Amino acid sequence: MHIVFAASECIPYVKTGGLADVIGALPKEIAALGHRVTVYLPYYRQVREKAPEKKPVIRSITIPFEYYNRFVTILDGGLHEGVQICFVDCPELFDRESLYATPTGDYLDNWERFGLFGRAVLEATKQLGVPDIFHVHDWQAAMIPVYLRTTYYFDPALRNAGCVLTIHNAGYQGWFPPQTIERLLLPWDIFTMDKVEQYDTFNYLKGGIVYSDAITTVSRRYAEEITTPEFGNGLDSVLRSRGADLHGILNGVDYTLWNPETDHNIAAHYTPKKLAGKLECRRDLLHAFGASQVADETPVLGIVSRFATQKGFDLIAQIANRLLNEDVFLVALGTGEPYYEGLFRSLHEQYSGRISVRIGYDDALAHKVEAGSDIFLMPSRYEPCGLNQIYSLKYGTVPVVHATGGLDDTVEEWNGEEKTGTGFKFHDQNADSFLAAIHRAADLFRDDKNAWTTLMRNGMGKDFSWKEPARQYAALYEEVARRRS
């Protein structure tokens, strides 16, 4: 089969979150199964800096809007591990300082930017190869199934193509004014509650859900959660109506990048059988954060995250004073909401012997935190999949997580009697439950080194590679293709 991926991010070109990791890894695994794979990405300024001077494979595609046309070039990004990369180049829409927004808010023409992206992908495939399946990701690519089943419904080249939508985070949906329908030259009869309308807005993600043949999300638990009012962000009813076509497929991770046996970013390599290198990684991490005097029996707690309430930083704020008066050392790497950046700066000043913080993101330092920490904290309010807890398991860094979404699917509670489990979970989203879970982890670290070593090895032995998720996606593609044939 030929599979076309359409997404707004992909490593190594551009990344703001886990979507980029998925698009950088899953297409390669699908190609390894013998399928033809093409990935379409917007040619942002950030992408151009990573992949400059690409040659056009289609010099000009006309994309019509209500009162004007835009002109798009499709650039050849090359063949990488069996995956053909194509860039959608429209400088007036994509050559900008940021991907989606400025500090003052979203770009007001995001409706146009990603409407154009979807239609450009469809038009490009008519010249470069119509796929059996379009696999589109999040609201930024969700106009592809909408166009496919409306404007392009009678197009003989595209009529039999199937469409799979993956929701990476239902909190981001793409809401735009009703007149967007006219601006994109779509029929007004789709602006209804059972199609794309929501609270008198045009909801791109809802349109993708309604018009796709199948919908996936990035963990089994999150697939259940988004059909509830608490986690569905207003889309729970439409997702329940598509329940037979909704699948939870857990994200994998790329162990060629995240593996303590081969990671070039860390001070020493180690394996489950030979763990000595982890102690060297811990010393290197503490040195990097300017904290070389931490005692060996003091657990090092690590955080690599976007500083946001969604990530549970309200709980961290509530427990910070109690936690940092105990025998722990906390290293935190990230950036995000100004309140939490300010909180960490003030904690660093108040408890300089207990916490060290780096505001910003540094990939090499993120690897050091994963390898050098003893315990990793992820108290997210919701987490569709999560990757850092999976990285932590591989690096023998014990995760403490809120039992939600992919965190619940990937971390198994430690059982001291049976010596099973891979981490510690808390179920009630409150500060006391979170702190109690940290205490369970820290007490085991200090009091029973043999049990702690077993716990580390349990996590390191887990396999969350992309092989099994890729097989599940391939089976879903074949099912959708059969239904469309």
Answer yes or no: do 334 and 425 share one domain: yes
Query: Both 366 and 222 in a single domain?
Result: no
Confidence at 17, pLDDT banded by 50, 70, 90: confident
**pLDDT of res. 85:** 98
Write the CA distances from 385 to 64, 224, 355, integer angstroms: 37, 12, 28
Query: What's the per-residue H, E or C state across 364-389?
Result: HHHHHHHHHCCEEEECCCCCCCCCHH
Are the C-beta atoms of residues 93 and 68 closer than 8 Å to each other?
A: no
pLDDT one-digit tens code per residue, 88-99: 999 999 999 999
Burial of 235 by CB count in 10 Å (0-12 exposed, 13-18 middle, 19+ buried)? buried
Domain count, the chain: 2
pLDDT at residue 103, as a whole number: 81
CB atoms within 10 A of CB 73: 20
232 residue type, one letter: G
Residue 243 CA to residue 368 CA, distance in Å, equals 41
Asked whether residue 265 is assigned to any structural domain, the reply reads no
Sign of CA dihedral 476, 86, 12, 136: negative
pLDDT at 18 over 90: no
CB 81 within 8 A of CB 35: no
Give the 3-state secondary structure percentages of the chain, helix then strand then coil, rounded to 5.
40, 20, 40
Kindly compute the dihedral angle of the four CA atoms of residues 366, 371, 373, 374, in this order, to the nearest 10 degrees.
150
Q: Which of 188, 104, 93 is nearest to 150 (CA)?
A: 188
Give yes or no: residues 445 and 417 share one domain. Answer: yes
Give the pLDDT confidence score for residue 28 in this predicted structure: 96
State the DSSP string of 189-242: GG-STTTTEETTEEEHHHHHHHH-SEEEESSHHHHHHTTSTTTSTT-HHHHHHT
- Determine the structural domain holding residue 289 and report its residue range: 276-460
The residue type at 456:
M
pLDDT digits (tens, 9 = 90+) for 360-408: 988 899 999 999 999 999 999 999 999 999 999 999 999 999 999 999 9
Answer yes or no: is 266 within a domain.
Answer: no
Torsion of CA 398, 285, 313, 320, to 10 degrees: 90
Question: Predicted confidence band at 53 (pLDDT cuts at 50, 70, 90)?
Answer: very high
Report CA-CA distances (Å) from 350 to 156, 294, 346, 435: 67, 17, 6, 20
**In whole numbers, what is the pLDDT of the chain averaged over residues?**
96
380 plus 247 within the same structural domain: no
Give yes or no: residues 177 and 301 share one domain: no
- In this structure, the answer to whether residues 243 and 361 fall within a common structural domain is no
For 300-368, the DSSP string reads: EEEEEEEESGGGTHHHHHHHHHHHHTSS-EEEEEEEE-HHHHHHHHHHHHHTTTTEEEEES--HHHHHH
Classify burial at 10, counting beta carbons within 10 Å of its beta carbon; exposed 0-12, middle 13-18, buried 19 or more: buried
> pLDDT tier at 272 (50, 70, 90 boundaries)?
very high
Secondary structure of residue 159 in the 3-state scheme = coil
Residue 298 has pLDDT above 90, yes or no: yes
In a domain, 271, yes or no: no
Mean pLDDT of 237-244: 97
Token code pair at residue 325:
């008066």
Residue 260 domain flag: no
We report the CATH number of the domain holding residue 314 as 3.40.50.2000
Amino acid identity, position 337: E
For residues 440 and 479, state if they share a domain: no
**pTM recorded for the entire structure:** 0.92
pLDDT band at 230, cuts 50/70/90? very high
Element (H, E) at 456: helix 449-460
Mean pLDDT of 316-333: 97
3-state class (DSSP) for residue 283 = helix
Q: Are residues 58 and 125 in the same domain?
A: yes
Residue 177, pLDDT > 90, answer yes
Per-residue confidence band for 485, with pLDDT thresholds at 50, 70 and 90: confident
Q: Could you tell me the pLDDT band of residue 456, with boundaries at 50, 70 and 90?
A: very high
**DSSP labels, 391-425:** HHHHTT-EEEEESSHHHHHH--B-BTTTTB-SBEE
Rounded Cα–Cα distance for residues 175 and 197 (Å): 9
**Nearest residue to 91 (alpha-carbon basis) of 120, 107, 62, 71:** 71
My answer on whether 401 and 428 are in the same domain is yes
Kindly state the average pLDDT of the residues 322-345.
95
Confidence at 107, pLDDT banded by 50, 70, 90? very high
Q: What is the mean pLDDT of residues 178-207?
A: 97
Within a domain: residue 258?
no
DSSP 453: H
Alpha-carbon span 27 to 81, nearest angstrom = 9
% of residues, the chain, pLDDT over 90: 95
User: Residue 389's pLDDT is what?
Assistant: 97
- Looking at residue 361, its pLDDT comes to 84
22-31: pLDDT as tens digits: 999 999 999 9
pLDDT band at 16 (very low <50, low <70, confident <90, very high): confident
Q: Are 247 and 323 contained in the same domain?
A: no
Looking at the structure, do residues 139 and 86 belong to the same domain, yes or no? yes
Residue 302 lies in a domain: yes
Reading the block at residue 409, the tokens are 């699917």
Mean pLDDT, range 297-310, rounded to an integer = 95
| Separation CA 135–CA 132 (nearest Å) | 10
Are 320 and 354 in contact, with CB atoms under 8 Å apart?
no
The reply to whether 284 and 392 lie within a common domain is: yes
Predicted confidence (pLDDT) at residue 358 exceeds the cutoff of 90: yes
Residue 264 domain flag? no
In a domain, 267, yes or no: no
